[in-house]
């Protein structure tokens, strides 16, 4: 509002802008669940990171306050406080109340915000019940306050003095409960991204503190001198690196900064993650393509030059050279073009060449200067190539099988009658005996049963050719119908729900984790599309009068018993394992769509999931033991 307390045209425009955000928050922050809630934090932090990328800030603090409001504080220049020519308001008030059509009007620099391009502050303001912005600048402390979805309740004013050297911006906001389904921040989620931002911006210190917890007063500080090199080291910490040095290459051209860090480990899967302006480019793009192309070319050149690869030999492929590779690719671009349905792909074509050049030149030099490490790396890729040839043969076997009638699975899969995948489900059942009961107890129209004998091969530790020679795994691949690797096709999935049905004991959870590892490494799109579930067989059965109640765990048992009339004389029994239940019990407790409890398996954060899988299934024993100890016996709440 202007000074004489009447709305003028620009006030109305401002209010309409923020009102639009409140009407359709999804358009600006995706969702209004806990994910959207966290999004607000990153919109504010992004402004601090922009300031860091511009070279004016090296310290950012994030605090979850007692009331679930958030404070973000940086030591940058401070948002400008002078009057903004276009709006007639102070610049800081403008930044928080005007929804600009694209482009931060400060101009220049790298915009880190993926979708919002500098309108983040006003979006956060629109979706908050109150916001306070404090700017330290020119020896003065300036403050402006907003409330009720972005209305200015205190114009910018000087509230005190500070040392002239002290500069920076502090923002505190409280998400509006009318907009969000929840107001509870998850510390671990904020921590993962805070750490990632520290890895991606070397030399920048980020601190996260949780003031909801009285004991935590210092918070956790993330600061990495080595940047993405330390990220690679971190990702490989549960794996066995096969060469000591982490290869770190960097280059800049016309304001585009390109950086890559990599190290091979003894495993068979790759962990390659790429970023543009700190945003994860899930679907790769030109920066990643440039590196992959150069990696394949340089290793082939080196192997041929040194006669490791003979004239008659086929060249190594992109698949061969990425086996066991952990790599972070990071690009900072003043004008990134994000493409694809989820905007997860970098499109700028000039980056492909820059990435290729920087990588090729640096990696070639590394191989020449480090012949021992070069030999280890080239040997690894040669072994991968031999395994690829063997895997091709094994894959042809599964393909031939899938051409046959699907009932022909060596008698193992008991398929459902219905053919429409949308209403079909498949149960992967631990053991023949539970498998037998499941076959009898199922709805044979829509429920298929695949009994699994013994343990599934750990694909984290086995190369694809060995995995494909494992009968259990071959049956699963054929039953799903999608194929794997380059031939994977989600459209061909034969079931809407894939339900893992294992006992609620240590063996059962082990099999579940092995299956999840298999899905995560070979069938990731099936997990991403939300087709994978874990059945939850109950642990206790409580009978009183004619009522039978199944409960999942001790906690539920106790709260159910507490809810009963104290005079109820009841019967409580620990449930048998799946294998000991008869068909009817199994149906009622675990399979019937009306009474069963399923838990959807989600891959929320690929990098976090990668870390958990390598920990659970990789070479190092100690981190696995620690993880399992910390996460209870049943690994029940592992949402991976
Ligand atoms: C805790 C949130 O917003 N820091 C921040 C924001 C800005 C600046 C510095 C800044 C930018 C520029 C010049 C520039 C912003 N300024 C603007 C705008 N922290 C936080 N720190 N001087 C200061 O980009 O030229 C928008 S954000 F537009 F006003 F310049």
DSSP string of 85-101, one letter each residue: TTTSSBHHHHHHH---S
**Most confident segment among 154-168, 491-505, 508-522:** 154-168
Q: Best mutation site among 43, 76, 112 for ligand 1, i.e. most ligand atoms within 8 A of its Cβ?
A: 76
- Residue 520 belongs to a domain: yes
Q: Write the pLDDT tens digit of every residue in 91-109.
A: 999 999 988 633 444 444 5
Average pLDDT for residues 359-364, to the nearest whole number? 98
Q: Calculate how far, in angstroms, residue 91's C-alpha sits from the geometric centre of ligand 1.
A: 9
pLDDT given at position 11: 59
Whether the predicted pLDDT of 616 surpasses 50: yes
Query: Do residues 209 and 324 both lie within one domain?
Result: no
Query: Do residues 362 and 425 both lie within one domain?
Result: no
Q: Calculate how far, in angstroms, residue 49's C-alpha sits from the geometric centre of ligand 1.
A: 10
Query: Do residues 555 and 525 both lie within one domain?
Result: no
Query: Do residues 530 and 603 both lie within one domain?
Result: yes
Q: What percent of the chain has pLDDT over 90?
A: 60
Which residues sit with their C-beta closer than 6 Å to ligand 1? 44, 47-48, 51, 72, 74, 76-77, 79-80, 91, 95, 104-106, 109, 169, 171
Q: Indicate if 67 belongs to the active site.
A: no
Considering its fold, how many domains does the chain have in total? 4
Residue spans of beta strands (DSSP E) within 167-270: 168-175, 205-210, 220-222, 247-253, 256-264
Atom nearest to 171 CA in ligand 1: 1
Closest C-alpha residue for ligand 1 atom 14: 106
**From CA 54, how far away is CA 274, in angstroms rounded?**
21
Q: Best mutation site among 48, 59, 72, 77 for ligand 1, i.e. most ligand atoms within 8 A of its Cβ?
A: 77
Whether the predicted pLDDT of 317 surpasses 60: yes
Atom nearest to 92 CA in ligand 1: 29
In degrees and rounded to multiples of 5, residue 193 shows phi and psi of -70, -35
Closest C-alpha residue for ligand 1 atom 8: 79
Q: What percent of the chain has pLDDT over 70?
A: 89
Q: Indicate if 505 belongs to the active site.
A: yes
DSSP H stretches of helix in 204-332: 228-235, 286-305, 318-321
Average pLDDT for residues 304-313, to the nearest whole number? 94
Last residue of one domain, picked from the residues 184, 200, 222: 222
> Are 239 and 265 spatial neighbours (Cβ–Cβ below 8 Å)?
yes
Whether the predicted pLDDT of 12 surpasses 70: no
Of these residues, 505, 588, 592, 619, which one is catalytic? 505
Closest C-alpha residue for ligand 1 atom 12: 106
Kindly indicate the confidence band of residue 333, based on its pLDDT and cuts at 50, 70 and 90. very high
What CATH number corresponds to the domain at position 386? 3.30.230.10
Whether the predicted pLDDT of 396 surpasses 80: no
- Residue 62 belongs to a domain: yes
Q: Write the pLDDT tens digit of every residue in 170-202.
A: 999 999 999 999 999 999 999 999 999 999 999
pLDDT-wise least confident of 172-186, 243-257, 569-583: 569-583
Whether the predicted pLDDT of 273 surpasses 60: yes
Helix (H, G, I), strand (E, B) or coil at 113: coil
Atom nearest to 91 CA in ligand 1: 29
Query: Do residues 280 and 364 both lie within one domain?
Result: yes
Mean pLDDT over each residue of the chain, to the nearest integer: 87
What CATH number corresponds to the domain at position 155? 3.30.565.10
Closest C-alpha residue for ligand 1 atom 10: 79
Of these residues, 161, 432, 507, 582, which one is catalytic? 507
Region of 108 on the Ramachandran plot (φ > 0 left; ψ -120 to 50 alpha; else beta): left
Whether the predicted pLDDT of 634 surpasses 50: no
Query: Do residues 485 and 570 both lie within one domain?
Result: no
pLDDT given at position 6: 52
> Are 431 and 502 spatial neighbours (Cβ–Cβ below 8 Å)?
no
The structure tokens listed for 373 are 């490490």
> Are 168 and 74 spatial neighbours (Cβ–Cβ below 8 Å)?
yes
**From CA 34, how far away is CA 36, in angstroms rounded?**
5
Whether the predicted pLDDT of 13 surpasses 70: no
> Are 98 and 14 spatial neighbours (Cβ–Cβ below 8 Å)?
yes
**From CA 259, how far away is CA 200, in angstroms rounded?**
10
Query: Do residues 246 and 119 both lie within one domain?
Result: no
**From CA 448, how far away is CA 427, in angstroms rounded?**
6
- Residue 593 belongs to a domain: no
pLDDT given at position 633: 37
Query: Do residues 542 and 529 both lie within one domain?
Result: no
- Residue 12 belongs to a domain: no
Query: Do residues 287 and 345 both lie within one domain?
Result: yes
Of these residues, 210, 415, 425, 503, which one is catalytic? 503
Last residue of one domain, picked from the residues 154, 188, 222: 222
Q: Calculate how far, in angstroms, residue 146's C-alpha sits from the geometric centre of ligand 1.
A: 18
Q: Calculate how far, in angstroms, residue 47's C-alpha sits from the geometric centre of ligand 1.
A: 6
β-pairing, 140-147 vs 151-161, is antiparallel
- Residue 248 belongs to a domain: yes
Average pLDDT for residues 300-329, to the nearest whole number? 96
The structure tokens listed for 264 are 């091979």
Kindly indicate the confidence band of residue 304, based on its pLDDT and cuts at 50, 70 and 90. very high
Average pLDDT for residues 524-530, to the nearest whole number? 90
Average pLDDT for residues 263-291, to the nearest whole number? 95
In degrees and rounded to multiples of 5, residue 409 shows phi and psi of -115, 45
Query: Do residues 485 and 422 both lie within one domain?
Result: yes
pLDDT-wise least confident of 135-144, 309-318, 454-463, 546-555: 454-463
Nearest to 147 by CA among 18, 41, 20: 18
Q: Calculate how far, in angstroms, residue 80's C-alpha sits from the geometric centre of ligand 1.
A: 7
Q: Best mutation site among 40, 41, 45, 47 for ligand 1, i.e. most ligand atoms within 8 A of its Cβ?
A: 47
Atom nearest to 94 CA in ligand 1: 29
Q: Write the pLDDT tens digit of every residue in 119-130.
A: 899 999 999 999
Query: Do residues 445 and 468 both lie within one domain?
Result: yes
Q: List beta partners, residue 428.
A: 450, 500
Last residue of one domain, picked from the residues 350, 379, 395: 395
Closest C-alpha residue for ligand 1 atom 3: 47
Q: Calculate how far, in angstroms, residue 227's C-alpha sits from the geometric centre of ligand 1.
A: 24
What CATH number corresponds to the domain at position 500? 3.40.50.670
Closest C-alpha residue for ligand 1 atom 30: 106
- Residue 108 belongs to a domain: yes
**Most confident segment among 285-299, 422-436, 593-607:** 285-299
Q: Three-state secondary structure along 508-519?
A: HHHHHHHHHHHH
Residue spans of beta strands (DSSP E) within 224-371: 247-253, 256-264, 271-276, 279-280, 325-332, 338-339, 345-346
pLDDT given at position 411: 54
Q: How many helices (H) and strands (E) does the chain have?
A: 20, 23
Residue spans of beta strands (DSSP E) within 529-636: 532-535, 540-544, 547-551, 571-574, 598-600
Q: Best mutation site among 40, 43, 50, 75 for ligand 1, i.e. most ligand atoms within 8 A of its Cβ?
A: 50
Whether the predicted pLDDT of 410 surpasses 60: no
Domain hosting residue 264, numbered range:
228-395
Query: Do residues 296 and 178 both lie within one domain?
Result: no
Q: Calculate how far, in angstroms, residue 151's C-alpha sits from the geometric centre of ligand 1.
A: 20
Of these residues, 61, 259, 319, 430, which one is catalytic? 430
pLDDT given at position 111: 55
Q: Calculate how far, in angstroms, residue 547's C-alpha sits from the geometric centre of ligand 1.
A: 64
- Residue 350 belongs to a domain: yes
Q: Calculate how far, in angstroms, residue 118's C-alpha sits from the geometric centre of ligand 1.
A: 9
Q: Best mutation site among 42, 169, 171 for ligand 1, i.e. most ligand atoms within 8 A of its Cβ?
A: 169
Kindly indicate the confidence band of residue 487, based on its pLDDT and cuts at 50, 70 and 90. confident
pLDDT given at position 388: 87
**From CA 301, how far away is CA 298, in angstroms rounded?**
5
pLDDT given at position 113: 44
Q: Determine which helix (DSSP H) or strand (DSSP E) holds 134, and give its type and residue range.
A: strand 128-137
Q: Calculate how far, in angstroms, residue 402's C-alpha sits from the geometric centre of ligand 1.
A: 59
The structure tokens listed for 14 are 């401002």
pLDDT given at position 114: 46
- Residue 629 belongs to a domain: no
Q: Map tokens 């009285």 to a residue.
A: 214
């Amino acid at each position: 509002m202007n000074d004489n307390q009447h709305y003028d045209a620009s006030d109305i425009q401002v209010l309409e802008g923020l009102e639009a955000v409140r009407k359709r928050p999804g358009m600006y922050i995706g969702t209004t669940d806990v994910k959207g809630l966290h999004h607000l934090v990153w919109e504010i932090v992004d402004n601090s990171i922009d300031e860091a990328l511009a070279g004016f800030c090296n310290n950012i603090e994030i605090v979850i306050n007692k009331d679930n409001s958030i404070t973000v504080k940086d030591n940058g220049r401070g948002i400008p406080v002078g009057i903004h020519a276009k709006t007639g308001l102070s610049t800081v008030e403008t930044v928080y109340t005007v929804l600009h059509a694209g482009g931060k009007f400060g101009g220049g620099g790298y915009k880190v915000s993926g979708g919002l391009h500098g309108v983040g502050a006003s979006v956060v303001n629109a979706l908050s019940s109150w916001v306070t912005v404090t700017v330290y600048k020119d020896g003065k402390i300036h403050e402006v306050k907003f409330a009720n979805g972005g209305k200015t309740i205190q114009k910018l004013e000087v509230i005190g003095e500070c040392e002239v050297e002290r500069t920076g911006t502090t923002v505190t906001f409280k998400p509006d409960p009318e907009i969000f389904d929840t107001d509870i921040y998850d510390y671990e989620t904020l921590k993962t991204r805070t750490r990632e931002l520290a890895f991606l911006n070397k030399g920048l210190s980020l601190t996260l503190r949780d003031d909801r917890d009285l004991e935590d007063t210092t918070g956790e500080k993330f600061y990495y001198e080595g940047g993405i090199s330390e990220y690679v080291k971190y990702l490989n910490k549960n794996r066995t690196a096969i060469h000591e040095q982490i290869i770190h290459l960097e280059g800049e051209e016309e304001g585009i900064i390109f950086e890559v860090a990599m190290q091979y480990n003894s495993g068979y899967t790759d962990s390659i993650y790429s970023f543009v302006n700190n945003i994860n480019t899930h679907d790769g793009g030109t920066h990643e393509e440039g590196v992959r192309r150069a990696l394949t070319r340089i290793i082939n050149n080196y192997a041929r030059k040194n006669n490791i690869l003979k004239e008659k030999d086929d060249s190594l492929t992109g698949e061969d050279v990425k086996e066991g590779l952990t790599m972070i690719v990071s690009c900072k671009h003043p004008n990134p073009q994000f493409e694809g349905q989820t905007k997860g792909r970098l499109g700028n074509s000039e980056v492909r060449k820059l990435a290729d050049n920087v990588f090729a030149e640096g990696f070639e030099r590394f191989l020449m200067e480090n012949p021992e490490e070069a030999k280890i790396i080239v040997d690894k890729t040669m072994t991968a190539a031999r395994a690829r040839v063997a895997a091709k043969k094994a894959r042809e076997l599964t393909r031939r099988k899938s051409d046959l009638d699907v009932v022909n699975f060596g008698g193992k899969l008991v398929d459902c009658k219905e053919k429409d995948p949308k209403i079909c489900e498949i149960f992967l059942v631990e053991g023949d005996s539970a498998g037998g009961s499941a076959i009898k107890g199922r709805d044979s129209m829509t429920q298929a049963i695949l009994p699994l004998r013994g343990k599934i091969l750990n694909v984290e530790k086995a190369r694809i050719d060995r995995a494909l020679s494992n009968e259990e795994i071959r049956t699963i691949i054929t039953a799903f119908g999608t194929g794997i690797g380059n031939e994977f096709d989600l459209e061909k999935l034969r079931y809407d729900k894939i339900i893992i049905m294992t006992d609620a004991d240590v063996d059962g959870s082990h099999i579940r984790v092995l299956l999840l590892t298999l899905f995560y490494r070979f069938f990731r799109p099936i997990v991403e599309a939300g087709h994978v579930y874990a059945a939850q067989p109950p642990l206790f059965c409580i009978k009183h009068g004619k009522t039978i109640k199944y409960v999942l765990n001790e906690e539920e048992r106790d709260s159910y018993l507490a809810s009963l009339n104290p005079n109820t004389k009841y019967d409580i029994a620990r449930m048998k394992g799946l294998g000991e239940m008869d068909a009817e019990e199994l149906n009622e407790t675990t399979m019937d769509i009306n009474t069963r409890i399923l838990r959807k398996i989600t891959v929320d954060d690929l990098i976090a999931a990668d870390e958990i899988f390598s920990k659970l299934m990789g070479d190092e024993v100690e981190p696995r033991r620690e993880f399992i100890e910390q996460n209870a016996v049943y690994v029940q709440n592992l949402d991976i």
